[in-house]
Amino acid sequence: MEIKAVLNEAVATPDPRLQQLLNHALTGGKGLRPTLVLLCARFGIHDTVEVRQVATAIELIHLASLIHDDVLDGATVRRSLPALHCLYGTVPAVLTGDYLFATAFGLLASSKKAVLTTVTEAIRAMCSGEIQQLTAAVPDTKAYFTYIGQKTAALFSAACRCGGILCRLKRPQQNYLARFGWHLGLAYQIIDDYLDLFGSAQRMGKPNRQDLARGILTLPVLRFLELSPEAARWQEKINRGLTAAEIEELIAAARQLNCDEYTAAIAEEQITLALEALDKLPVSPVQEELALLASRTLDPLQEII
């Protein structure tokens, strides 16, 4: 994939220690966000080099945020490998994240102002979402959507809007692309949260059931707490911290109340909204490719249900 080459070039450094950290940070990943930039830019005439640089920058920002998140969550595994901070320590990990942020903005330096403001807005949303999450009172479905919007959908949406800006789409069409990315991002995060609860650790490349163990309530759990006659008792247990056995019990109970199917349906609903936004854009082969990419995000659900 062409992005990989730009990524490697962007993080080339004469310092062997730093290079080691950066190489680890770049290992694996599906490259979904840069793909969105590349595809969306194909709606019009664009400068290939500039598009690739912006796509790479967005991936670097994503990687930087993963590194910082893993430090802050105390996560130990990422993409089937030990998290960066576990191998090299917290200090190098935070600094590597900062270095990647700076590298990303270096790549964005030659791009349009609108690209830069779109990306910085997305990062601000990501940070402020994480900060709000820390102090959120009793979470509900509305707060969940706000949170995953900032945490995940904002950067998906920015990636798509940047593609639109770079190929000189008109503002309303940029907005449709941004909306497409937004709903796709929400669906993507809902599916991630679904798999964390109902999927297998092996398939995810990281330990699952982490959210619940940390007391973070995702959509299927929120649904369960809405439906279960024993919600109050479960909420108490969650606050106290669940044992592994209790987590299994909760998951079984949630399945009984069809919370898995409900969550899958909500993800599908978001994909429908994404496709609706896409329909407003000029008919083109790119539109079809984006639609296919969107539909495929649902694939992991089919493999499990």
Contact flag: residue 265 with a copy of itself (CB under 8 A): no
User: In whole angstroms, how far apart are CA 238 and each of 60, 69, 82, 214?
Assistant: 35, 22, 27, 9
Joined tokens for residue 294: 């969107």
Are 113 and 59 spatial neighbours (Cβ–Cβ below 8 Å)? no
28 is a contact residue toward a copy of itself (CB under 8 A): no
Residues 60-79 touching a copy of itself, rule: CB under 8 A, are 65, 68, 71-72
Residue with smaller CB distance to a copy of itself, 39 or 66: 66
Residue 10 contacts residue 103 (beta carbons within 8 Å): yes
Q: Is 117 in the site for a copy of itself (CB under 8 A)?
A: yes
- Residues 121 and 158: beta-carbon distance below 8 Å: yes
Q: Between 38 and 71, whose beta carbon lies closer to a copy of itself?
A: 71
Amino acid of residue 45: I
Do 152 and 183 form a contact (C-beta atoms < 8 A)? no
Indicate which single residue of 8, 27, 87, 106 sits in contact with a copy of itself (rule: CB under 8 A).
Answer: 106
Report whether 105 contacts 54 (CB < 8 A).
no
State yes or no: residue 113 binds a copy of itself (CB under 8 A): yes
> Minimal distance in Å, beta carbon 287 to a copy of itself?
29
| Residue 143 in contact with a copy of itself, rule: CB under 8 A | no
In the chain, the amino acid numbered 18 is L
For residues 66 and 78, the answer to whether their CB atoms sit within 8 Å is yes
Give the range of 17-25, 38-46, 154-162, 217-225 binding a copy of itself by CB under 8 A. 17-25
Question: By the criterion CB under 8 A, which residues form the site for a copy of itself?
Answer: 13, 15, 17-18, 21, 65, 68, 71-72, 89-92, 94-99, 101-103, 105-106, 108-110, 113, 116-117, 119-121, 123-124, 126-128, 130-132, 134-135
